[in-house]
Chains A and B, each alone.
Chain A
Amino acid sequence: MVDFGFGLVPSSRINLDLFDKEKYEELAAMEPDVRVCMACGSCTAVCTAGRLVQTSLREAIEDLKNARPEKALEMLGACQLCGKCSMVCPRGINTRHLILSITKVYSAG
């Protein structure tokens, strides 16, 4: 291939048209609480893994809704399932359970 001296960078813009509604509904059926996150960031603030490797449940949930599931999994890759985030979530989300379900639904192809 000819080298033009530059490469194409994939768009980093969020495109909601790419949102996979079916998959998200599959997750929401198992884990209805995914809908009620209000992006407060408490989970991320206290995350034990987050100090070392970027880890954020808030961002993962956001990424799923923004049609970026691979980023969501990346955000949870270092999670130790310690459960600290569930202690602070003001919406009372069972965060560990949610993290497990996200991984299950979105890693399977």
Chain B
Amino acid sequence: MKNNILIIGGGPAGLEASAQLQRMGYNVILIEKSPRLGGHLAKWDRLFPDGVPADDVLGGLIKELNGVKYFTDTDIRAINRLEKSYNVRLTNGITVLSDAVLVASGFDLFDAVRKEEYGYGIYDRVITNADLEAWFKTGSDKRIDNPRKIGFVHCVGSRDEKSGCRSCSKVCCATAVKQAIEVKQAFPEAEVFCFYMDLRLFGRHYEDLYLKAQKEYGIRFIRGRVAEVSENIDGTLVVKAEDTVASKPLKATLDLLVLMSGMRPSASGKAVGDLLEMTVEEDGYFAVRSGIAAGQRSPLPGLFLAGAATGPKTLPETLADARAAAVEIDRYLTEIFPDARNYKQLVRERW
């Protein structure tokens, strides 16, 4: 029997898992609530650490879909667990009986407006990492007008309990270093500053990127969180921080400030989670069955998780997670699901 598998979310995680499961012979149905596939990857221009075009990576993922049935502009209307399978009603009117469900609902970018002291949406020359990616892609943004002094603010909406997020978003240090290099390429005369608390450049080649930013692009890294931003009458910005290496308060006048908005759990993912009463952890992301050993199984039998739905991940981590989820789903559907007589016991022992 060809089992139905529903995949919720057409970002990198959903796309990769769909392609893998389709290849294994399953009947995959992929839904994406926005008008196009790709998730956040569709918004990025070039990727850290090597600068490959995001469109090439996304194109590759979509090509691998190889006939997977997918619906865009489609969300979940209702979902409930039957004895073994999930009965799902989609917003496009279609009903699916699915033997396994993969939640790949990803993340939302932290809304920088909420960090009022940085002035996003108030001062003209304060933008976010996502705005800068859009500018790299399109070249049009009135706020970016040949800036001579550019600052990057790390940890915006991350590592900040006051804005509701204690944890690190993992990708924004590398994004800041990457974008700092890219703006310096665009404006070679500019002075570029990164304001950080810790530089978390943990991945392969990331430290090389940091060294390159210092050595070849002269980017200045200042340890200290930006505490306050104000606007001069001419539109330039005054930034205040402590240089905690020098133990001195510091101010700088800048022409452009880029906020590294962090990752927050997806709101539309959470809506699906609410329908199924899925467990979330204190950080707002979905809980996995067992943190270390089974990172793709949710506490509910037959319900799987992949990608940024279980916390911040880089793209390679997301794709590896999606492939792991495909293997887990296959194992469940071949070893546990078909055994009608012992299903409950097998779930107890092996889920």
Interface of A toward B, CB cutoff 8 Å? 12-17, 19, 21, 28, 32, 35-36, 38-39, 58-59, 62-63, 65-66
Partner of B215, one of A15, A17, A36: A36
Known: A35-B218, A65-B220. 6 other contacts (CB 8 A): A16-B251, A16-B253, A39-B245, A58-B245, A62-B245, A66-B248
Say yes or no for B75: interface residue by CB 8 A criterion: no
Select which of A15, A36, A59, A63 is within 8 A of B251 by beta carbon: A15
Q: Tell me if A14 and B223 are in contact (CB < 8 A).
A: no
Given A21-B191, A35-B218, A36-B214, verify A63-B246 contact (CB < 8 Å).
Answer: yes
Q: Is there an interface contact between B193 and A62, defined as CB atoms closer than 8 Å?
A: no
Is the pair A14, B215 in contact by a Cβ cutoff of 8 Å? no
Q: Are B252 and A12 in contact (CB under 8 A)?
A: no
In whole angstroms, what is the CA distance A62 to B245 when docked?
8
Taken together as a complex, chains A and B put the C-alpha atoms of A37 and B241 apart, in Å, by 21
CA distance A30 to B215 in the complex (A): 13
Chain B at the A interface: SS class? strand
Residue on A nearest B249 in the bound complex, by CB: A13
Instruction: Determine the main DSSP class of A at the interface with B.
Output: helix
The distance in angstroms between the C-alpha atoms of A64 and B252, with both chains bound, is 15
Contact A36 B211 (CB under 8 A): yes
The 10 closest A-B pairs by CB, nearest first: A16-B252, A14-B250, A13-B249, A36-B214, A35-B214, A39-B245, A14-B248, A17-B253, A36-B215, A62-B246
How far is B211's CA from A38's CA once the two chains are assembled, in angstroms?
Answer: 9
Least Cβ distance of B329 to chain A in Å? 44
In the complex, which residues 207-241 of chain B have their Cβ closer than 8 Å to any Cβ of chain A?
Answer: 211, 214-215, 218, 220-221, 223
Tell me if B32 is interfacial: C-beta within 8 Å of chain A. no
Instruction: Collect the chain B residues with CB atoms within 8 Å of residue A12's CB.
Output: 248-249
Give residues 123-164 of B contacting A (CB, 8 Å): none
A-side contacts of B191, CB under 8 Å: 19, 21
Q: Could you jot down 24 A-B contacts, CB within 8 Å?
A: A12-B248, A13-B248, A13-B250, A13-B251, A14-B243, A14-B246, A16-B193, A16-B251, A16-B252, A17-B251, A19-B191, A28-B218, A32-B215, A35-B215, A35-B218, A36-B211, A36-B214, A38-B221, A39-B223, A59-B246, A62-B243, A62-B246, A63-B246, A66-B246
> Given contacts A21-B191, A36-B214, A36-B215, is CB(A16)–CB(B246) below 8 Å?
no
Cα–Cα distance between A19 and B254 once the two chains are bound (Å): 13
B142 to chain A, nearest CB (A): 25
A36: chain B residues at CB < 8 Å are 211, 214-215
Please give, as numbers and ranges, the residues of chain B lying within 8 Å of A58 by CB-CB distance: 245
Residue of B nearest to A21 (CB): B191
CA distance A62 to B218 in the complex (A): 14
Q: How far is the CB of B191 from chain A (nearest CB, A)?
A: 7
Residues 249-303 (chain B) with a chain A CB within 8 angstroms: 249-253
Which chain A residues lie closer than 8 Å to B253 at the CB level? 16-17
What CA separation (Å) do A56 and B249 show in the bound complex?
A: 20
The distance in angstroms between the C-alpha atoms of A21 and B251, with both chains bound, is 16
Whether B252 contacts A17 by the Cβ 8 Å rule is: yes
Asked if B218 contacts A66 (CB within 8 A), the reply is: no
A21 to B218, CA, bound (A): 11
A28→B119 CA distance, assembly (Å): 35
How far, in whole Å, are A21 and B193 apart by their CA atoms in the complex?
Answer: 13
Tell me how far the C-beta of A56 lies from the nearest C-beta in chain B, rounded to whole angstroms.
Answer: 11
> Across the interface, do B251 and A14 meet the contact criterion of CB distance under 8 Å?
yes
Q: How far does the alpha carbon of A19 sit from the alpha carbon of B148 in the complex, in Å?
A: 13
CB neighbours of B243 from chain A (8 A)? 14, 62, 66
With the chains together, A62 CA to B223 CA distance in Å? 11
Closest to A59 in B: B246
CA distance A25 to B143 in the complex (A): 28
Give Cα A12 to B249, complex, Å.
Answer: 8
Q: Which residues of B contact A59 (CB under 8 A)?
A: 246
Given A39-B223, A66-B243: A14 touches B214 (CB 8 Å cut-off) = no
